[in-house]
Every structure is written in C-alpha cells, then in structure tokens.
Structure 1
C-alpha cells in the first residue's frame, strides 16, 4: 500500500487477494494429487475443465485486456493440434510434441501479427476468421491428414491408457497454472498497464509514449501460444484429428461465451465463466442442438442485462477483487468523515 495523500492510499493487494492466492495454491496441490482418488471419467472431465480455463483466459486476455475481439482464434487451436500430429509423426515424443507445437504456432503468429494488427475492430475480428478458414484449407492438403478424414495421434499408443490419462491430466493442470500465472504477472506489469490503456483509448495511449504495435503483438502471441497448448491437449485426450472439428468456429464461440458470462476484462471472470460452461456442458451437453441454442440465448441475455458478466456484478455489488491486476484507491474512515 502506498500513501499518496493524507487519508488516501493506492493498493494492489488486499487481505482477500492474499487469501485467494493461498487457497489457490492449496487447491492446485490437491488437484495434482487427485488422480490417485479419481476414476477415469472424472480425470477426463477435469482435464477438459483445465483446457476450458486456458481457452477462456487467453481470449479474455486478447479481447478483455487488449481490446482485440477475434472470432478466429480457432486457427491457433487447430494449428496446435496439427503440429502435434506432425511432430509426433516425425518421431518426437507425443507429450513433448504438445508444447513444441505450441511454440511453433506462437512463432508463426509473430509474422501473422504484422498483418492482422493493422486491422481495427470488426475488420480484425473477421480477418482472423478468414485466416482460420485458410489454415483449415491448407491443413486439408497435407497427405498425412487425408483431408477431412483426418488421422490419429497413434504415437500415444506407446503408453498404456492409465498412464496416458494421468499424464495428460497433469500436463493440462500444469499448463493452466503456468499460463494463468504468466498472464497475471504480465497484466500487473508495465506492459499490462499499457495494454489496458490501449484498450481504453489507443490514441491517448500513443500520445503518452505507449508502444502500441509492440504491446498488441505481445498479447497476440501469448494468446496464440496458450490456445495452441489447449489444442494440443485436446488432441491428446481425443487422439483423433479431423480438421473440420479443430478449426471449427465453435471453439471461439465457446471462448466468447465463457468470457461474456464470467466477465470480460476481469481476470476472475474468465475462470468463473469456464467453470460455469463446464457445469452446463456436463449437465446439458447430451441434449444436442438445444444445448447450443441455450448457450446462444444465455450469451445474448448476459450481453443485454449483465454486460460486465457475473464476476463484474459481484465485484460491483461487494467491492471484491480476488485477483486484482490494476490499482485501486482506498480512503480512510477519517477522510470519508471529512467529506
């Protein structure tokens, strides 16, 4: 806490935020030890939850913190899975391939950012969708993939099903924690403050010396890498790869839903939205097309009546910040009394 005037101070950490980090540390330890007590089905579902959290956090970073709304992030999800297949086919261990594929996708996103970040608003959103469709078509040309017939990550057959399931679980948990930690640290840095300044007013941010292009590129590449990790992990759980599935716009639709419901621009909101989506999918996923209709209707209602999402409403109602990425002014009781 920094005092800037009598009775007025600036703080980043609160008692609740410190307690939250302690609780999250304990939960992470318990989750790491949980496979010893969980059945195969529960392990698979928890792995899916970790992947959803990654997807929501990365889209929220791009759109909520950076103001870069995209409907084509499935391009990185698909490429993460595709390069995993390619690297494993070349002889690399399939679990190592997951993360090497994400690095390759992140590297490819750098030159892509030089073109895409020149676009603004809706142009950027649609432009990313076009890139996703183009990548989909190019992957279909690969003889290994066999068009929409697809292929499988057969290298995973070297591991027995129990070992494979638990390893993927631990990798997904580790990836989620690492990416959330990296994003949290980034958003609390000078670069994070610059990103939010660009989101709020790009011209004003430029006028005070913010390097707009470089800052946007950093966020763009981080989101690409994180979503590619999620794509590789999803491939490991499903083992089969069909381009039309991994490059489907439904993945970005899921990301948007989770962030809108949880709270766009709120670090906690993306996590809450992912958990809610996971619960809804678990309970209603078997209802077919009505499940998708329900998701669309829920997203529309939240956009109209709770534009800040559930966590935004909670934060406003109770003045609660569990994982603050910005600063907040606090006023002493004496200062308030004088007012």
Structure 2
C-alpha cells in the first residue's frame, strides 16, 4: 500500500535540534550579556515578522507592503491597554494581537478587491491612513508619541522573579523577559506555519498561490483560505509589534509604522534567504543582522548596499541563498513537499 508523507530523516533531526536550541535559549540569560540578549531579541522578532510575511507572499501569494500597519497598531493597542486601562504590559500584548486582527478585517475587505501590484499598493495606503489616524490620538502622545509609565515598567509580570533569579537590574530583567517571550513567539509562529504547510490546508494554500482558478476547480475555497491566512498573519504581526515596543518602552507613529523597519527589511530578509521556504527567513535574518552590524554606521550607503545585495541575489540565486544551498545539497530541514512511499519504492510527487 502506498501513502503520502512529508517526513524525512533531516526533518526529524531538525526537530531535535530546534528543541535543544529552544531549551538552551531559555537558559542563555544566565551566561549571556545584556547586549547579546538585546541582539537575540532583535533577531527573533525580525525572524517572526519574516516568517509571517513569507506565509503571506511565499505560500499565499499575498504580497503585502503594509504589514507595518499591524505592527504599529498592535504596539499602540498595548500602550493603550497599559496607560488607559491599567493592564499589566504582558497581558496588554494580547490586546495588540486583537487590535491587529480587528484592523485586518476591513483591510482584507478592500485589499482583496485588488490584484497584483494594486494589492501591494493598497495595503501600503491603508497602513499610511492608519498611521495618520493614530497620530491624532492625543491620549497616547499624538504625533510625538509617549513612553510606558514608570510604575508600569517597574511592575511588569515576571520581572521580579527574573531579577531574583539572575541578580540583574530592572531594565535587564525586562530585556530578558522580552527575549523569552520573543523566543516563545518565534517557535510558536514557525511551528504553526510548518504544521499548516504539512496539512491539507497547506496544500490548498499552495494551490491557490500557483493558480487560483485551478484550485477552485478541485474544490478549494480560495477566498475563505486567503481570508484566514491574512487574519492569522495580522494577529501574529500585532503580537510581535506589541512585544517589540514593550521592550523599547517608547513609541511614536513614525517608529511604530515605519515601512522601512517593519516591511522593507522583512521583505529583504525573505528575498535573500529564499521565499517560499521556512529555512529561507532563518538564513536571511542572520545575513541581515551581520550586514546591519557591519554597515549600520554608514547611513545611506547601508541602504544602498542592502539594495545591491538584494538585486544580486535575485539575479544569481532567484530562489534565495537557501534555495541555492538546497539545490546543491538536496537538504530540506523543514520538509513540506509530499512524497509517495510504498513497500518497495519511494518517489517524489
């Protein structure tokens, strides 16, 4: 009897390595400096945003350039929960995800009426409108922004335990807490995407990306599937945005809705790493972090260098760096391609 499977030895080994890295990551603050924790927080949050955008564009065919709307609104919702409602910042992060989910409903309603480049431009326009509206919110600082109250940052859930556990100051304890939450979030998002792509829904999503009409002809509800993916991605992006600005404890419309920081860099990470693969954003975020560390002091030359690298990768490695590695080695750390397995032979389909 033949059956379809996505399991491989490399995939099983990857699962063990990821579990070991996650456990090591939880214990890392015991030996790592604060600067290392901050760098890892940046890498983890950017990787989360990259995996989410890769799900939208690489697997769903939804090329959005307005993801900063959900980052910014999620962050502002968290601040509103703390400043206006008196919530603990950790619980207010959940409000950020909910707010982004609510915004995604009208965004999807209008953007899904557009196709291709018009969809991308439409999402950017909605993000800009959201930024302008938030800038009028005087209770949260208006156009200049605001900071989390001192009493809120000093009583963040879990920081007292971290201070006692690692003998660190309050600011360092907040960084460790944010790092732990980022680690949990990136594992949950990447694991959730991996599970989705290995399921029948993932197969349907890939079919919709490749040919909507062909997918509909075999019974796939393309519209409902796109809605579901867009809403889930928005909520996860809102959670990430709330977490990012919990760590900084300071917010402004320009920072929260920065298209360069939360969309352009994310697209760069996915493109150079390899769009349409889970491994791609992981490779891409590491390359981006190295370039950022080496070139960030060079101003406009930094952005020009990133652009030139992106163009070079698209010309010489259209499937990204991971696509190049995978093509030469045949390695798939997160296998999602289905293979036909039988008693005597094993062939790809």
TM interval, short-chain normalised: over 0.9
Please give the per-residue CA displacement for 1:269-295, whole angstroms capped at 9, x wherever unaligned: 112111221222122222222111111
Specify the alignment match of 2:275 in structure 1: 264
Return the match for 2:112 from 113, 117, 128.
117
User: Is residue 140 of structure 2 the alignment partner of residue 129 of structure 1?
Assistant: no
What does residue 245 of structure 1 align with? 255
RMSD: 1.9
Alignment of 1:184-333 (within 5 A): 184-250=194-260, 251-328=262-339
Question: Residue 148 of structure 2 corresponds to which residue in structure 1?
Answer: 153
Deviation at 1:267, TM superposition (A): 1.1
Segments of 4+ in structure 1 off by > 4 A?
Answer: 329-336
Cα offsets for 1:65-94 (capped at 9, x unmatched): 001111111111111111111111110101
Q: Report matched runs for 1:135-146 at 5 Å.
A: 135-146=130-141
Check conservation: 2:6, 2:198, Cα contact below 8 A.
Answer: no
Contact 2:100–2:234 (CA under 8 A) maintained in structure 1: yes
User: Number of residue pairs matched?
Assistant: 330
The 3 A distance-change label for structure 1 pair 264 and 332 is: farther
Unaligned runs of 5+ in 2: 157-169
- The runs of 5 or more residues in structure 1 that have no matched partner are 5-9
Corresponding position of 1:67: 61
- How far is the alpha carbon of 1:324 from its aligned partner? 1.2
- State how 1:38-117 maps to structure 2 within 5 Å: 38-89=32-83, 90-117=85-112
Q: 1:184 is paired with a residue of what secondary structure? A: helix
Kindly indicate whether the alpha-carbon contact (under 8 Å) linking 1:75 and 1:135 is maintained by their aligned counterparts in 2: yes
CA separation of 1:286 and 1:194: change in aligned 2, threshold 3 A? same
How far the C-alpha of 1:334 sits from its partner, in A, is 7.9
3-state SS of paired residue (2:120) = helix
Q: Quick one: distance in 2 between partners of 1:335 and 1:175? A: 36
Using structure 1 for the length normalisation, give the TM-score.
0.92
Q: Distance in 1 between matches of 2:337 and 2:94?
A: 30
Change beyond 3 A, Cα 1:203–1:46: same
Cα distance in structure 1, aligned partners of 2:9 and 2:301: 43
